[in-house]
């Protein structure tokens, strides 16, 4: 599988478009480019059972699993709704991402 050019980065605020967490918002914690997946804070939570070891006490642990990148969209900085991402070059020559819905730049 080839690495895709992604328009989403770590730290972006996103809206979930599909799945059991549809409509919820969160922040991207990790981007897995090879798998086209992202880990979003508080989304796709599962309970993992682990045995006790010398380092950890074991028991139930709640953690986020990756979600496919096609199921998330950037949250518009103005309205907070899902939007597409575009690129434009500013007058000083800097290339920035912007929200297609409102035209606001995405930091």
Taking only the tens place, the pLDDT of each residue in 81-92 is: 999 999 999 999
**Token pair of 86, please?**
């575009």
What is the C-alpha to C-alpha distance for residues 88 and 35, in angstroms, rounded to an integer?
27
What is the C-alpha to C-alpha distance for residues 39 and 77, in angstroms, rounded to an integer?
20
What is the C-alpha to C-alpha distance for residues 104 and 107, in angstroms, rounded to an integer?
9
Task: Give percent of the chain with pLDDT exceeding 70.
Answer: 96
Give the domain ranges of the chain.
13-75
Global pTM value? 0.84
What is the C-alpha to C-alpha distance for residues 67 and 69, in angstroms, rounded to an integer?
6
What contacts 54, CB < 8 A, 6 or more positions away? none
Considering the four listed CATH numbers 3.40.640.10, 2.30.30.30, 3.40.50.2300, 3.50.90.10, the one that applies to the domain covering 13-75 is 2.30.30.30
């Amino acid at each position: 599988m080839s690495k895709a050019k992604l328009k989403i980065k770590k730290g972006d605020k996103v809206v979930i478009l599909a799945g059991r967490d549809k409509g919820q918002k969160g922040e991207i914690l990790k981007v897995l480019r090879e798998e086209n997946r992202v880990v979003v804070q508080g989304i796709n939570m599962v309970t993992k059972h682990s045995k006790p070891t010398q380092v950890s006490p074991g028991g139930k642990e709640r953690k986020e699993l990756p979600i496919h990148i096609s199921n998330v969209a950037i949250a518009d900085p103005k309205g907070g709704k899902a939007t597409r991402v575009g690129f434009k070059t500013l007058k000083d020559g800097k290339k920035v991402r912007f929200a297609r819905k409102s035209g606001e730049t995405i930091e």
